[in-house]
Homo-oligomer: A and B are copies of this chain.
Amino acid sequence: MRSRLPTLKIVAEAAGVHVSTVSRALDSSKRHLIGPDVLKRIEETALRLGYRRDMAAAALRTHRSRLIGVVVPDIANPVFAPIIAGITSRMSDGGYSTIVADVGQQAGRQDALIDELTARRVDGLILATARIADPGITELIRSGMPMVLVNRSSDGLPVPAVTSDDRLGMRLIVQHLAQLGHRRIAHLAGPQAISTGRNRKDGFVTAMQEAGLPVLPSMIAEATAYDTESGEIAALHLLQQAPFPTAIAAANDLLAIGVLRTLRDQGLSCPDSISVTGFNDMPLVDMIHPPLTTIRIKGNDMGREAAELLLQRIDHPAGPFVRRMILPELMIRRSTLTVS
């Protein structure tokens, strides 16, 4: 049987004072109100009895749960793990606990998850699941829930967001390829309903134009999801086009791996016949064959920053809406080569 934890009342009786006095003594911001001898007695008693404040009961009184929720599309996707780690670490330092809600396979679960978090009276929400046009977010904004988007942003909504600078990331890729002498560069775009997909594609087009390179519609394929299967299918499509690309810039590492698979199936080699780049710098992409040139998006920083912004919004709900971008970093490895 579980022995119930001691309450404030138990501690108060043991220390011979009133519960309100114990409550103050154990609250760092009110401790100064208590006389030194009484304070000492209370602290000793609390320690001896193993007292732990019941946060849920405190939340009921104060209307602050010090609990936040983060909704991710797929917790098992290595891209999100560092983001979650960054969030929980920063929130924990700020005295908050984090409930991670994983949408996983059934996309319809998102609403149910947000309901669950609402029932927990979370003080705020971090969403890693935003779509460019997202009615669910509009609704949340109306409810007044403090909220921050991370990794993916939405269009035209008054909501803070922390993302990697996806346009810049893709520009770094294009510049790198152009420098290697590539002119016929194809883009394997991500889902265009998600900001990462759209912004990386935008960045691709812009950077190509800046570099004076042609942007042919036949050189852009769209994957339906960020996974290797979609990458394989889209890559196959790209390879059937004329002119034949000398490089393929994928919107995501998994898509790039799909490209590598297709190349292998077709008897083509990377980087000798064709250069390939990814995006995200997932764990182990430096160990695949060939080690993948990609963009590091610094998920941990992104998570910390999103947590920071959420903390600000919780304390100042009427503050300005900040959109922050984390600088991406080009990781040059062996999947890109001078064009022959």
Contacts and interface: CB of A to CB of B under 8 A. Distances in A.
B102 A116 contact: no
B289 A118 contact: no
A120 B21 CA distance: 22
A14 B206 CA distance: 57
Interface residues of A, number: 60
Nearest to A284: B284
Contacts of A77: 81
A260 B287 contact: yes
A52 B119 contact: yes
A92 B75 CA distance: 14
A119 B57 contact: no
A60 interface: yes
A282 B119 CA distance: 35
A99 B52 CA distance: 18
Identical chains bound together, number:
2
Nearest to A84: B75
Most buried by B among A53, A104, A317: A104
A287 B120 CA distance: 41
A282 B118 CA distance: 34
Contacts of A2: 143-146, 317
A88 B104 CA distance: 10
Contacts of A224: none
A78 B81 contact: yes
Contact of A288 (B1, B54, B59, B284): B284
Contacts of A53: 119
A85 B100 CA distance: 10
Contact of A56 (B1, B59, B92): B59
A55 B121 contact: yes
17 contacts: A3-B144, A54-B60, A55-B119, A56-B56, A76-B81, A76-B82, A78-B78, A78-B81, A92-B101, A97-B117, A100-B100, A260-B287, A282-B283, A284-B287, A287-B288, A288-B289, A289-B290
